[in-house]
Chain A
């Protein structure tokens, strides 16, 4: 595995978004992974509709929260075409599910895998390089005050509560770290990204990880 790998260098990661006052991190995480998988498969990178997942995945609670795994099961089972964000824009609130009989663009989920990589972050690195950006659920309680830099302390893995997109890692420096895209806007953290020390399952980053195939 390379010492450093970042899917942003391959132009398959869409810009950081802002979920605003809506508990939709789970949808941003899943849609981010699908956008990247689509671009890795050779299709153009485009922002896909987070609102469609919020409104239509009834197994989850929309802005009241949800599970990335349940959203992936729903996407796989229904084979629903996730339409572009431009067709179904983000509103940061729950809404009626829109159905598109002839969607323009978009993509459907073919398959996904979920794993607990705790204690095996080398294998998680391999999965990231091989499959693309990974959806992960972390304990982000201490992220309320985060400004930037590599998180090495104060991030437990006891209570996973926030879904993010792991887009790369960097092990070239003294402290190896994961490069994680968040959905709290570009004003937060490192222009919307957070760096989490690699190798000790900090924030529970390796506990619940999903890779997708479109």
Chain B
């Protein structure tokens, strides 16, 4: 849409690539999680949080076993 938009997006991709390298450095086994470019890579972490991480947790009671549960 414009130069500013392009630069912002480009910066997100660069930051994402650095994140991926760090996250993947811990993935040593074949079944380990892999991190890389996906549909969210053009978003900054803040944009991603604001759009997709909108659940509000409620404090749940600790589980004490089936008797208490009943």
Point out residues on A near B: beta carbons under 8 Å: 19, 21, 23-26, 29, 60-61, 63-70, 113-118, 120, 123-124, 137, 140-142, 144-154, 160-163, 173-175, 184-185, 187-188, 195, 207-210
Q: Tell me whether B34 and A68 are in contact (CB under 8 A).
A: no
Q: How far is the CA of A68 from the CA of B60 in the complex (A)?
A: 11
Question: Bound state CA distance, A61 and B56, in angstroms?
Answer: 10
Q: DSSP majority for the A interface? A: mixed
Q: What residues on B are CB-neighbors of A21 within 8 Å?
A: 51
Contact yes or no, A144 B54, CB < 8 A: no
Complex Cα distance, B57 from A140, in Å, reads 13
For the complex, what is the distance from the CA of A166 to the CA of B11, rounded to whole Å? 34
| Chain B nearest CB, measured from A49 CB (Å) | 19
Return B68 CB to nearest CB of chain A, in Å: 10
0/1 string, B20-63, CB within 8 A of A gives 1:
10010011010111111011110101001101111111111111
Decide if B65 is an interface residue (CB 8 Å cutoff).
yes
Residues of B within 8 A of A67 (CB): 55-58
Residues of A within 8 A of B54 (CB): 23-26, 61, 63-66, 161-162
- Complex Cα distance, B18 from A145, in Å, reads 11
**Chain A residues positioned under 8 Å from B3 (CB to CB):** none
- Report the bound CA distance from A174 to B53 in whole Å: 31
Closest Cβ–Cβ distance, residue A203 to chain B (whole Å): 11
- Specify which of A114, A117, A141, A144 is in contact with B58 (CB 8 Å cutoff): A114
Q: A141-B53, A187-B39 are in contact. Are A152 and B62 (CB under 8 A)?
A: no
Distance to closest chain A CB from B63 (angstroms): 4
Q: In the complex, which residues of chain A have a beta carbon less than 8 angstroms from the beta carbon of B61?
A: 114-116
Asked if A152 contacts B35 (CB within 8 A), the reply is: no
B26 x A141 contact (CB < 8 A): no
